[in-house]
């Protein structure tokens, strides 16, 4: 039997009624002859509530117990989904992570999946089970304790199962009907994409297009899992949603696939650090040890052997970054005159694999921003992405202007 993985996000299992609706979708695929692995999230809002309870009980919580509590939302929906399917006369069984087992690292609250031996579930499929309902987001550590995969982790569970069971496709059912050229809440002309390349999706996901957990896209790209994002609230055809696939499977595409933004960026500048070999390592090693996710980095030209070093990081990590830099200064590892944090910036990026073969995208982006009177504070580029930091108050305007200038409302 061919295998299909179907993942239902929190809004798709938010009520018993919605679970029934999702189960009907599963029934349609079972009727086509698939063995189906259903991955469920917790009911929407549940995980936030559980995280809140943990924080209230113990602000400096033991991460093993955090995982014990926070993983529980998925146990409920997995059992309810299995019961609902059984009520429809579809042989179904629920599986918690440890029962499969989904073997992970011991990095509690941010564990990585290491292996999913398919034998236990396959044995049940051979005995006539039609649907395995697996609790997403969770696994078991080598020490035998429950782990979780980080927020949004059930997307990664789904892709990992699709790879482990060599599934024909991994369908991610969510509350939007696909991946858009930009956020439709900001830009009314945003267009749903029929297909998007793994690499583009990876950039968009990590830039804050919250449709898929970044790690799930990395996994899908590595194992060539055909990934489809679609809405559980609309009638479905086989062409519904957005297919995330290999670049070779996309016939025509715009040079720029999408415009992404990230609202919560901060620009940090170390003013006047000594420009000597090893200075970047002395700055960025302690930042990384402190868990600061540094994104853009710019070193200015130096004057008299001193230079300014600018980097960006999420706003909620500014305090951690400041502490790490002050400590490095106290230890004598670095020396700077001042650390200036600008918390009123946003990052805007244009992404597209077409940039590999087309020049002029950066120049056009800068012209568009300049025509709107938007000053660029920092620029970084990669092969398929150009990102700029701008004042946060211009974020929406910048996204709209770029979407229009690159004509993303039109298909290629
Ligand atoms: N329930 C978890 C969360 O809210 C995992 C997921 O839904 O992907 O982060
Ligand atoms: Mg999600």
pLDDT band at residue 79, thresholds of 50, 70 and 90? Answer: very high
pLDDT at 193: 92
Per-domain boundaries in the chain: 3-175, 259-405
Q: Is 73 in the pocket of ligand 1 (CB under 6 A)?
A: yes
Query: Looking at the CA of 138, which ligand is closest?
Result: 1
* Cα atoms in the 13 Å half-sphere on the side-chain side of 391: 7
User: CB of 351 within 8 A of CB of 258?
Assistant: yes
CA–CA gap between residue 337 and residue 320 (Å, rounded):
19
What is the percent of the chain where pLDDT is above 90?
88
Q: What is the mean pLDDT of residues 46-71?
A: 96
> Which atom of ligand 1 approaches the CA of 137 most closely?
5
Residue 201 Cα to ligand 1 middle (Å) = 19
pLDDT at 258: 95
> Which atom of ligand 1 approaches the CA of 154 most closely?
8
User: CB of 358 within 8 A of CB of 204?
Assistant: no
pLDDT at 238 over 80: no
The hierarchical CATH code for the domain 259-405 is 3.30.2130.10
Give the rounded distance of the alpha carbon of 358 from its chain centre.
27
**3-175: which CATH topology?**
Carbamate kinase (3.40.1160)
pLDDT at 237 over 80: no
Quick check: helix, strand or coil at residue 94? strand
Phi then psi for 264, rounded to 5 degrees?
-100, 60
Mean pLDDT of the residues in the chain: 94
Q: What is the mean pLDDT of residues 377-404?
A: 96
pLDDT at 326: 97
Burial zone of 111 (CB within 10 Å; 0-12 exposed, 13-18 middle, 19+ buried): buried
Helix (H) or strand (E) holding 249: none
pLDDT at 210: 74
pLDDT at 248: 87
Structure pTM?
0.86
Range in 9-13, 155-159, 233-237 with the lowest mean pLDDT = 233-237
pLDDT at 176: 86
Residue 215 Cα to ligand 1 middle (Å) = 13
Respond yes or no on whether the N-terminal peptide bond of residue 238 is cis (omega within 30° of 0). no
Range in 85-99, 129-143, 202-216, 269-283 with the lowest mean pLDDT = 202-216
| Tokens encoding 290 | 């402190």
User: CB of 159 within 8 A of CB of 113?
Assistant: no
| 286-343 pLDDT per residue, tens | 999 999 999 999 998 888 899 999 999 999 999 999 999 999 999 999 999 999 999 9
Q: Give strand pairing partners of 93.
A: 132
- Mutation pick for ligand 1 pocket among 8, 10, 51, 135 (CB with most ligand atoms within 8 Å): 10
H helices of 186-301, where?
Answer: 198-206, 214-223, 279-289
Q: Show the CA angle centred on residue 247, arms to residues 36 and 357, nearest 5°.
A: 165
Q: What is the mean pLDDT of residues 66-83?
A: 98
pLDDT at 208: 63
Helix (H) or strand (E) holding 406: none
Residue 173 Cα to ligand 2 middle (Å) = 10
pLDDT at 1: 82
Q: How many CB atoms sit inside 10 A of residue 210's CB?
A: 11
Q: How many CB atoms sit inside 10 A of residue 277's CB?
A: 6
| 24-37 pLDDT per residue, tens | 999 999 999 999 99
363 Cβ neighbours under 8 A, 6+ residues apart: none
Phi then psi for 257, rounded to 5 degrees?
-90, -35
Closest CA to 22 of 75, 96, 85: 85
pLDDT at 204: 87
User: CB of 309 within 8 A of CB of 299?
Assistant: yes
| Tokens encoding 142 | 């080598």
CA–CA gap between residue 224 and residue 219 (Å, rounded):
8
pLDDT band at residue 68, thresholds of 50, 70 and 90? Answer: very high
pLDDT at 207 over 90: no
In SS3 terms, 130-179 reads as CEEEEECCEEECCCCCEEECCCCCHHHHHHHHHHHCCCCEEEEEECCCCC
Q: What is the mean pLDDT of residues 257-280?
A: 94
How far CA 132 is from CA of 97, 103, 155, 225, 251, in Å, comes to: 12, 17, 16, 19, 35
Q: What is the mean pLDDT of residues 131-144?
A: 98
pLDDT at 209: 66
Q: What is the mean pLDDT of residues 127-134?
A: 98
Number of H helices, E strands in the chain: 12, 18
């Amino acid at each position: 039997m061919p295998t299909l993985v179907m993942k239902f996000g929190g809004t798709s299992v938010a009520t018993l009624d919605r679970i029934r609706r999702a189960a009907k979708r599963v029934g349609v695929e079972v009727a086509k002859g698939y063995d189906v692995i259903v991955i469920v999230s917790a009911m929407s809002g549940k995980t936030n509530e559980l995280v809140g309870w943990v924080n209230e009980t113990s602000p400096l919580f033991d991460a093993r117990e955090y995982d014990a509590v926070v993983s529980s939302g998925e146990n409920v929906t997995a059992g309810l989904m299995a019961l609902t399917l059984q009520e429809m006369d579809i042989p179904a069984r629920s599986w918690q992570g440890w029962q499969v087992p989904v073997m992970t690292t011991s990095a509690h609250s941010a564990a990585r999946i290491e292996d999913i031996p398919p034998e236990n579930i396959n044995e049940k499929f051979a005995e006539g089970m039609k649907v395995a309902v697996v609790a997403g987001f969770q696994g078991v550590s080598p020490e035998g304790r429950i782990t979780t995969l980080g927020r949004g982790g059930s997307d990664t569970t789904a892709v990992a199962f699709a790879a482990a069971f060599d599934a024909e496709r991994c369908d991610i059912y969510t509350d939007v009907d696909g991946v858009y050229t930009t956020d439709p809440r900001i830009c009314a002309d945003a267009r749903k994409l029929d297909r998007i390349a793994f690499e583009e999706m990876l950039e968009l996901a990590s830039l804050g297009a919250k449709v898929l957990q970044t790690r799930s896209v990395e996994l899908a790209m590595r194992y060539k899992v055909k990934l489809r994002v679609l809405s559980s609230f609309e009638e479905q055809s086989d062409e519904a949603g957005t297919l995330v696939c290999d670049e070779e499977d996309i016939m025509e595409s715009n040079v720029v696939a999408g415009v992404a933004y990230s609202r919560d960026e901060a620009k940090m500048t170390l003013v006047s650090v000594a420009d000597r070999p090893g200075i970047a390592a002395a700055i960025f090693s302690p930042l990384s040890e402190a868990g600061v996710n540094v994104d853009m980095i710019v070193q200015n030209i130096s004057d008299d052997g001193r230079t300014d070093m600018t980097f960006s990081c999420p706003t909620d990590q500014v305090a951690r970054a400041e502490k790490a830099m002050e400590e490095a200064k106290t230890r004598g590892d670095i020396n700077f005159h001042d650390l200036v944090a600008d918390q009123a910036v946003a990052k805007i990026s244009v992404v597209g694999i077409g940039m590999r073969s087309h020049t002029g995208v950066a120049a056009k982006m800068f012209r568009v921003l300049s025509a709107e009177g938007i000053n660029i504070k920092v620029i970084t580029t990669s092969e398929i992405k150009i990102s700029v930091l701008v004042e946060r108050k211009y974020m929406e305007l910048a996204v709209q202007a770029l979407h229009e200038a690159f004509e993303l409302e039109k298909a290629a």
